[in-house]
Structure 1
């Protein structure tokens, strides 16, 4: 790539990085916690003065429990009891309880020892600053370690009056961010319905930046940023020109799903990231021929494809769907080499056909094909057994080591197998309903977007919302582009686009047979390949149908303007409720 091309790609990637990292999440959250030793443990809080209280906010860590809070003006007579259910939905997020009491004291009593209370704050009427605490006394005299209740009030500067997605978990972060935290601390993982690698990568961000929203989201966001240059390189090799590569990267940059799904701490971004890479390197292999280049040169992209397949499978099982497509492409490549071998063998035996006499047919080359095919094909298959079976199995099994070595777990092969059967049972036997679920055939039409987050405690007329959906200009035209690409690739015998179409089909078609609850975000793995199909059609239209480029530029302008238009609903930005309802909710099923 030339310097100008590097600058163009770098500028686009940098621009997206700035957008993606802006308001990603707070880097400040309570870190210490109070944890009772037994049921009935609690404490009494004394405020600096008798005050009218209107709100109590609590930030819970790992664990589930119910606790009761009562209030008093004299530390003798208690009233206005409130029971708080601190369950998994409230892990690592601020929970608000409205009050209407006058008190100088508050007393908390737990029902069991499962609670990790990381911070608590009481707010007086008319103020968003926590009430100053004069003392915190344990009801059982505990003053050491995590049983010391002062730990529930030692980070009042990090208390949040009006919580939102910026300072707590939302949607499935309640599972994955929590599990990543548990991996960091050697706790038996809570979420075991997917392989561990995605959560382990989330934990890297937590180790680097802390257990806060920025920490648990940053690694996925960085991989989302990296998808842009990776897709650029993929398209550059596929289409041969920088303008088409830039088009693919541009469409990826401004797709809604790509933006939303890589800024939330769930595991889909990791699976999709590795899927793109494993198909990119399989494409590199598929375009090579071991008769024309050294065998070692063909093995390099196979190794990388197999490695990323293993990492993808260890992140989410959707990569295993893609493994079927990789196998198809690999054996199809070998079949093509076999056809060349078969043709060469016939020519050497029976002589070159008269129809080929006018062509320069190298007899030595044909003889080399006949003599080397058995050896080269067997060596390739042997190496692929290592690349696509042994290494992925090792990576996949190794990803479970932190879970198997956690406190209370057993490091054994039997326990590893139990994890697999448990995941399989969950994926195949889940019986549940959800108001935002959708079927596989509805996804590309954006029939039912998935509402991730709805802000609360906002001024009248304002809203903060996050929705998972595709950019209509990309997804709706992409449906036609995939169909058109299949027709064109078959007609033109375009091997490169065949790889893209296999990738799309291998990620999409298995969902036809999935009977469990599904959502629109499951289409995310298909989006990169849908975009490549779009660019393929654009290239064909410009170079062979003489499309007016101004119309293509107008299309890209629409893609960008839609992203700008929907940005508030993708990012959680506070905007007018009227704007969202009148400008963004195009259909009655678009609820956000």
Structure 2
């Protein structure tokens, strides 16, 4: 099976001749199909709520009934999507989790799009997407009704849309894609607040790219930040000036965020009003920053890249068998990705290569926020978004530094092999007994 998979990959991503260039859309469609099938297989097991589904599924039910606020520490969008699954497919494990599989597939495609837009090559884009697909974190979050999967999907697609705007041929195209990216980032924040820094990162990225372009072409700072320079046109985001672009980004993303609170205005108990909408954000912040009691699976932010303390989302006898679902990272990607981050930073600084710096910066930006926010407890699943951006950095680094050697295939082979080994405790398949977990808990802190 492994040989067949690698053969398919090699046919998809081998350097093509000009006459047989691989279409990114065809490759993306095939990867999306593979991801959706993998995420959907045996999705309904376990049939009971597991881990934080006990918070978000009841909150989705209350949204359907419009009976009143619940789980107020988080915005509404992700719970609204879970509610949509319940309305569409029933109040059961399929209804709770179906849209999470779509979010997982969108996340994989988001990685593909980001790498392709950064490098303009299909091969590294395919490998980045496959790294995400076989990264345990994406697989597990695509099969559970939690907020993080939706937040990550909208964040990845938002970043991809803003990069797509960079490549636009016309001002109209650039503005349309920029607005789309602003909407998607607003939706990401509406799923979970941790995506909010990416709105600021997008504004900073616009300015940095324009200034770098101005330095390369000998233009002034004023020309760099204006819509149309005196000579020629901007290579990136043509026809867009910095201040209107940043204002549009902020206004559209904020408006999108607040629009997702519309159902709360119709609660039968404690409905929101225009007067209470903003103060309610402070209530949410208070809930987010409250001091919580210690938890069995809590961990510190510095331990997440090292994979010291995963989380058992499920380990019990259910649906007629002993089953387990462990939220853990694929070591080939988590640890290999750290090497890729270091390589991208080192080479990016020395060569002033913004693509390498951006690949590392996406991971840094998504991770550093956990160091500064005032959370009393931390958990490995907070590392979900950074673990996805490791796939971007890994694909970019392998493409830039492999020098003709098939290092990308070797890393993917290791990732797929580990995925096959850990699959039983990623997917909740029947295990042979209560002590079966010992096969996969390679370190004492993983128990």
TM-score normalised according to structure 2 size: 0.86
Corresponding position of 2:11 = none
1:227 Cα shift?
2.2
> Does structure 1 residue 398 correspond to structure 2 residue 259?
yes
Change (3 A) 1:497 1:301: farther
1:294 Cα shift?
4.1
1:339 Cα shift?
4.8
Corresponding position of 1:122 = none
> Does structure 1 residue 21 correspond to structure 2 residue 40?
yes
Corresponding position of 1:410 = 271
Out of 319, 322, 328, the position equivalent to 1:463 is 322
Instruction: Say whether the 8 Å CA contact 2:138–2:388 is kept in structure 1.
Output: no
* Aligned residues between the structures: 419
Corresponding position of 2:190 = 314
Change (3 A) 1:588 1:187: same
Corresponding position of 1:446 = 307
1:217-366 alignment, distance < 5 Å:
217-286=97-166, 294-336=170-212, 339=215, 343=219
The unaligned stretches of length 5 or more in structure 2 are 1-19, 223-227
1:430 Cα shift?
2.7
* Structure (1/2) with the larger strand percentage: 1
Instruction: Say whether the 8 Å CA contact 2:106–2:157 is kept in structure 1.
Output: no
1:200 Cα shift?
0.7
TM-superposition CA deviations, 1:34-73 (whole Å, max 9, x none): xxxxxxxxxxxxxxxxxxxxxxxxxxxxxxxxxxxxxxxx
1:573-588 alignment, distance < 5 Å:
573-577=429-433, 580-588=436-444
Corresponding position of 2:14 = none
1:238 Cα shift?
2.2
> Does structure 1 residue 199 correspond to structure 2 residue 79?
yes
In structure 1, C-alpha distance between the alignment counterparts of 2:377 and 2:127, rounded to whole Å: 34
Change (3 A) 1:552 1:400: closer
1:300 Cα shift?
2.8
Q: Which has the higher contact order (CA 8 A, sep 6+)?
A: 2
1:150-165 alignment, distance < 5 Å:
none
> Does structure 1 residue 571 correspond to structure 2 residue 437?
no
* Structure (1/2) with the larger helix percentage: 2
Question: Larger C-alpha radius of gyration, 1 or 2?
Answer: 1
Instruction: Say whether the 8 Å CA contact 1:481–1:534 is kept in structure 2.
Output: yes
Which one is further off, 240-249 or 473-482? 240-249
SS of alignment partner, residue 275 of structure 2: helix
Change (3 A) 1:574 1:298: same
SS of alignment partner, residue 340 of structure 2: helix
In structure 2, C-alpha distance between the alignment counterparts of 1:3 and 1:535, rounded to whole Å: 18
Instruction: Say whether the 8 Å CA contact 2:316–2:322 is kept in structure 1.
Output: yes
Corresponding position of 2:231 = 368
Corresponding position of 1:554 = 410
Which one is further off, 450-459 or 511-520? 450-459
1:456 Cα shift?
2.4
SS of alignment partner, residue 451 of structure 1: strand
Instruction: Say whether the 8 Å CA contact 1:478–1:534 is kept in structure 2.
Output: yes
Instruction: Say whether the 8 Å CA contact 2:344–2:359 is kept in structure 1.
Output: no
In structure 1, C-alpha distance between the alignment counterparts of 2:318 and 2:203, rounded to whole Å: 52
TM-superposition CA deviations, 1:145-174 (whole Å, max 9, x none): xxxxxxxxxxxxxxxxxxxx5222111111
The unaligned stretches of length 5 or more in structure 1 are 26-164, 347-364
In structure 1, C-alpha distance between the alignment counterparts of 2:276 and 2:198, rounded to whole Å: 27
Corresponding position of 2:246 = 384
1:376 Cα shift?
6.0
Corresponding position of 1:516 = 376
In structure 1, C-alpha distance between the alignment counterparts of 2:183 and 2:229, rounded to whole Å: 34
Which one is further off, 193-202 or 315-324? 315-324
Change (3 A) 1:478 1:190: same
Instruction: Say whether the 8 Å CA contact 1:197–1:315 is kept in structure 2.
Output: yes
Change (3 A) 1:575 1:303: same
1:401 Cα shift?
1.7
SS of alignment partner, residue 259 of structure 1: helix
> Does structure 1 residue 529 correspond to structure 2 residue 389?
yes
Change (3 A) 1:456 1:10: same
Out of 291, 311, 314, the position equivalent to 1:430 is 291
Instruction: Say whether the 8 Å CA contact 1:188–1:407 is kept in structure 2.
Output: yes
In structure 1, C-alpha distance between the alignment counterparts of 2:56 and 2:212, rounded to whole Å: 44
In structure 2, C-alpha distance between the alignment counterparts of 1:4 and 1:416, rounded to whole Å: 46
TM-superposition CA deviations, 1:328-367 (whole Å, max 9, x none): 1022234346657874699xxxxxxxxxxxxxxxxxx984
